[in-house]
Every structure is written in C-alpha cells, then in structure tokens.
Amino acid sequence: MLAVDIGNTNVTLGALPAEKRRDAPAPLAGWRLATHRHATADEVGVTLQGLLSAAGPSLDLLAGVVIASVVPPLDPVFRDLSEKQLRHRPLFVVPGVKTGVKILYDVPGEVGADRVVNAAAAFARVRGPLIVADFGTATTFDCVDRRGAYLGGAIAPGPQMAAEVLYQRTAKLPLVGAFHRPPHAIGKNTQDSIASGLFHGYVGLTRGLLRQIAKEMGGRPTVLATGGLAAVLAPAVPEIEAVVPDLTLEGLWRIWHVNSVKK
C-alpha cells in the first residue's frame, strides 16, 4: 500500500506491506519530493511511476492509498492521481476517519492531519502518556494521555522558517545553510552566530516546552521525535527518548487498517 504525507515543504511517500500485523512495518521504499502547489496529477504520476519502478514495487500491486495532507490545493491532485492512475479511492485522514485516538481539541477539525497521524502512531508504540515533537517546516508538540486521547499541543515556527524570516526582514544578515549544531555557542562570525542562535535557541525552546507540557500532563510522558530535523536536535535534548523518522508513515499504515480499507 502507498502512504502519502503532503507537507508544506515536502511530500513524503512510502510503499509499505499491506498485510496487517501488530508492529508497523518498515517501508519497502520511501521518497521525499519537494512540495509544488501547482503540480498536476500527470506530473506527480510520472514521477511516482518512475520511483516505484526503480525501487521494485509495481503500481499494479498496490492494495490501497492513504493520504494525510496539510496543503489543501494538492488534495484534488492526489485524489485524481490515486483514482485514475493507481486505481484506488484514497483514504484521506479527515474528521470522521477512525484514527485510534480521541481528539479533545476545542475544534477537532483544526488539528492538522499530520499531527493526528503522528499521535496515533506514537500511542500504538507507547500505549501510555506521550509527547510527539515533530521538527519540520513548523515545530509541533502533540500530547496524548494514557487512554489514547489527543489533548492538544503547541506549534512554533521551524528553524529553517526562522532562518528565512531573519534573512528576509534584515538588511545585512545572510541566509545560513542547512540547520546544524555549530562547534561553539559563541559565534566568531555572522554565519556561526546565526547558526548558534538557531540551534541553541531551538534546543532551549524544545526543552522548555517539553518541561512545561509534561508538568501540565502530570507524570513523565514518553517523548518521541520525528521530522527532518529531529536527528540534529535530539542529541542535545535528553528528554527525547527516541527518534522515529517514519512515524507519520507508520501512522498512515495503521489508520488504513483501522478503517478496514478493502484489500
């Protein structure tokens, strides 16, 4: 089956075994494409067909398609791609779809599909109170209690977004390269100073929010991290117990099964 996570910066796709099992399987193949809001179903389909052919799985062998999207303009594109080229009606993670977690947000429909999917995947792993820290375009923190209820969380700009705003809103500060841990907190040049502010600033933001959230939840919730920048930040955040790169794909796989999609 094909799991698709349509994010603001990237579209992440994973081909996973369709058969049901207790533990979510690792993807047979996975890809990350840049998000292009004006892409057509034909363009995405040609790219996907090439990727699947190179990796081994055939489009004809797909048992189903499940999609989490936070980019509404691309929803009809991927629906059209799934129905016409993959010959499957896609399951979109939207309000009303069974996820395995009860949403306690004031307005449940406001919760991003990716956040719900991550919460569902994390609870299936932990089976107890937890926090998911997702370091992507935005930095999000999502909380689940011991009964599997989604409590809410926190949202902050992601490090790359912060770097871009710093560059765009100042006259002389440069746009720094990839988010990384600088050798020292005290930068000796502008590039290193910005890198230090971003890295150590986000470490402080992460640790501070995790402490405050855990205090409000009570006890010691398990903390899992995911997202493209998790591997960079996690070593400096001792509260994070594990980095799960494919957490969203895991959650999509589980939600596909929970909804008894015809296979």
Rounded to the nearest 5 degrees, what angle is found at the Cα of 109, between the Cα atoms of 108 and 112? Answer: 100
* Active-site option among 80, 106, 114, 134: 114
| Contact present, 149 and 130 (Cβ < 8 Å) | no
| Contact present, 90 and 28 (Cβ < 8 Å) | no
Q: Does 114 participate in catalysis according to the annotation?
A: yes
Distant-in-sequence, close-in-space partners of 223: CB < 8 Å, separation ≥ 6: 130, 131, 132, 133, 210, 239, 240, 241
Rounded CA-CA distance 57/43 in Å is 19
User: Which stretches within the chain are classed as H helix?
Assistant: 41-55, 75-80, 113-126, 159-168, 190-217, 230-233, 247-258
Q: Which amino acid is at 260?
A: S
Q: How is the chain split among helix, strand and coil, in percent rounded to 5?
A: 40, 20, 40
| Contact present, 143 and 153 (Cβ < 8 Å) | yes
Distant-in-sequence, close-in-space partners of 127: CB < 8 Å, separation ≥ 6: none
Q: Which positions are annotated as active-site residues? A: 114
